[in-house]
Amino acid sequence: MLAQLIALSLLNVFVSAVERVYEWNVTDVYDVDPTQTGNGRWVMGVNGKWPIDPIVVDYGDQVVIKMTNQLTDNRTCSLHSHGIFQNHTAYMDGPPQITQCSIPPGDTFIYNFTALQNGTYWVHSHDMSQYPDGLRTPFIINAKEEPYDYDEELIISLTDWYNTPFHELFHTEFKTFKNPTGAEPVPDAGLMNDTLNATFAVTPGKTYRIRFINIGAFNAYTVAIEDHDMTIIEVDGEYTKPATASSIRLSAAQRCSVLVQMKNDTSRNYAITAYMDESLFDVIPDNYNPNVTAWLSYNNDSAYDVAAPVGELDWYDDTLLEPLWESNWGDSSNLLQLDFDFYTLADGANYAAINGTPFVDPKVPGIMIANSTNFDGYNLKPITYGPYTNAIVLEHLQVIDIIVNNYDTGIHPFHMHGHVFEVLERGEEDAGVYDFSVQHNYSTNPVRRDTVDIWPTSYVVIRMIANNPGVWVFHCHIEWHMDSGLVATLVEAPELVPQIASPDYVRQQCLEQKIPIAGNAAGNTVNISDLTGSPSAPGEMPAGWTSKAIATVAMCVLAALIGMGSIIWYGMQVERINAVEETEKDDWNKMLADG
């Protein structure tokens, strides 16, 4: 009887699964000029169109994005579904040299996964410096039963706009000896819904769910709607208890759904303003407009005025939000500490480093290292993934607290692939590094999200559970910083990676580009402990270098390797974790067997 019921329910799942197929030819689109400068530029679009239509699916749907690279000049591409766990489908995550090889010109990579989350996400290229040039769009998963009632919804993206292609700026202005301090080029403008002056027509009296998504590469925005309160109900795909806010803050990659009750009175229109956080800029250009405006449009006979000047923006502190459902992950018995800062290296350019090491892609994609070195314990050793990947190996179902100390004076929004994490504590600006000598009081139901801000010279403590075997990156989502090496690699339960299905094209596309698909980070398949030839970063600044611009030169990449990948054990809960592991490991395997 029970067996029949299970069979029946499996059948139901099978019958109701809808396949949503998207055929995406990635192409350049020319003469795009959203800010009406008179000088259009190319951007990366889909099927000859930009902006790219948002992807909207329902919970449980099979999402199939057949992405064909039709870019010219030998450019590659890739697609990451930001916030999607890719549980059992780790090869679909998107970062080149981590879970796949970049898609070579003319090839098609089929991103194929089940939408088993709800809420507001986005997709973007994860190939070097590429998404700021246009290859990104919102991705919405409607829950079967939404926990909150609303009548209508709006998707409002926020982004930055550069008149010059990002990858060009990256090489000519950013990562060069001419910019040893790593000043980031300031965007020429900010956009809402990929345009300026958008008017969102609303129906009076109705309740709207507005999904704000920062799909930008650099700017953080504080968003306010004139004379309308917002009720926060979701951040980064996690529903929260309702929280009333006059404004919200979104760093690159963050999302927030708010409920807004429209007025009955239609006598005027109201500005939606996204205020840039100008503290991110080294230099503010003359006559710069940091305020991006769109409107709730009630009445086209009334004016569209910009918002009256506001003083201090009192945005809602996201660490005070509480998830609607508690996580029940239990306590952590593992502590990991990641310290990051920026350094000028021997080539005179600025690099970011975690525990002293700037991230550099391994020769073999990380997941294929895990998959192919599953013997004699090799894939359990961080060094197998390379001396420059900041690899950290996590045991299946471990609960881990991660302290991230920011030694830099800028704000950095850190994003973890494959997971949401709990934000146990976020230090105030300039609080310094995490203080082990004081008692820390973590909330019992801390906010969960996939991207968290770390304030200048301060820290966060986050908690995660390693319930998703695969290889996942944890990185700053400011594209300038990620491409400077502000990345760590979480290698999660590598012994289970060989059980993850990988379609043939995953390997073929590597081989076509002569990228090895087995061995350690150096591609060595014979002597796994020999890392000779594995990619590295430039060394430290040569002695005697005297650029007045350089303040922080003292860095020893090699010495810092000692700190890499070490997990400090504390507490006595290891046994409990192992006990949980056995039962749930079976679950993970079983689901795979069920397809």
Ligand X SMILES: *[C@@H]1O[C@H](CO)[C@@H](O)[C@H](O)[C@H]1NC(C)=O
Question: Contact residues for ligand X (CB under 6 A)?
Answer: 23, 25, 35-36, 47, 51, 59, 62, 64, 68, 73-74, 85, 87, 110, 112, 117-118, 143-145, 193-201, 205, 261, 263-264, 275, 289-291, 297-300, 309-310, 368, 371-372, 438-441, 467-468, 498, 502, 506-507, 517, 584, 587-588, 591
Nearer CB in complex with Cu ion: 155/253: 253
Establish if 481 lies at the interface with Cu ion (CB under 5 A). Answer: yes
Nearer CB in complex with Cu ion: 448/481: 481
DSSP 8-state class, residue 172: I
Residues 365-424 that bind Cu ion (CB under 5 A): 412
Task: Report, in Å, the least distance between residue 66 CB and ligand X.
Answer: 7
Please count the residues of this chain forming the interface with Cu ion, following the rule CB under 5 A: 4
Nearer CB in complex with Cu ion: 478/555: 478
Bridge partners of residue 406, in order along the sequence: 340
Query: Could you give the C-alpha distances from 153 to 162, 200, 209, 259, 401, in angstroms and in order?
Result: 29, 11, 5, 9, 36
Nearer CB in complex with ligand X: 39/441: 441
Task: Report, in Å, the least distance between residue 153 CB and Cu ion.
Answer: 31
Q: For residues 61 and 20, is the Cβ–Cβ distance under 8 A? A: yes
64 contact choice in Cu ion, ligand X, none (CB below 5 to 8 Å, kind-dependent): ligand X
Phi/psi of residue 183, nearest 5 degrees: -65, 130
- Half-sphere CA count of 362, side-chain side, radius 13 A: 37
Task: Report, in Å, the least distance between residue 417 CB and ligand X.
Answer: 11
Q: How far apart are CA 205 and CA 177, in angstroms?
A: 57
296 contact choice in ligand X, Cu ion, none (CB below 5 to 8 Å, kind-dependent): none
Task: Report, in Å, the least distance between residue 145 CB and ligand X.
Answer: 5
Stretch that binds Cu ion, among 77-85, 477-485, 511-519, 552-560 (CB under 5 A): 477-485
Establish if 476 lies at the interface with Cu ion (CB under 5 A). Answer: yes
Nearer CB in complex with ligand X: 72/546: 72
Task: Report, in Å, the least distance between residue 33 CB and ligand X.
Answer: 9
Nearer CB in complex with Cu ion: 363/475: 475
Place of tokens 């999904």: 211
373 contact choice in ligand X, Cu ion, none (CB below 5 to 8 Å, kind-dependent): none
Q: How far apart are CA 184 and CA 219, in angstroms?
A: 11
Nearer CB in complex with Cu ion: 249/481: 481
Q: How far apart are CA 240 and CA 230, in angstroms?
A: 13
For residue 54, say if its preceding peptide bond is cis, omega within 30 degrees of 0. Answer: no
481 contact choice in ligand X, Cu ion, none (CB below 5 to 8 Å, kind-dependent): Cu ion
478 contact choice in Cu ion, ligand X, none (CB below 5 to 8 Å, kind-dependent): Cu ion
Q: How far apart are CA 323 and CA 329, in angstroms?
A: 13
Residue 297 CB neighbours (<10 A): 16
Task: Report, in Å, the least distance between residue 300 CB and ligand X.
Answer: 4
Task: Report, in Å, the least distance between residue 124 CB and ligand X.
Answer: 16
**Closest Cα to residue 85, out of 417, 396, 351?**
417
Q: For residues 77 and 49, is the Cβ–Cβ distance under 8 A? A: no
Nearer CB in complex with ligand X: 142/536: 142
Amino acid identity of 591? Answer: M
Beta-sheet strands, E only, within 419-528: 421-426, 448-449, 451-454, 459-465, 470-476, 487-492
Q: How far apart are CA 326 and CA 239, in angstroms?
A: 10
Q: How far apart are CA 560 and CA 357, in angstroms?
A: 7
- Contacts with Cu ion by CB under 5 A lie at 412, 476, 478, 481
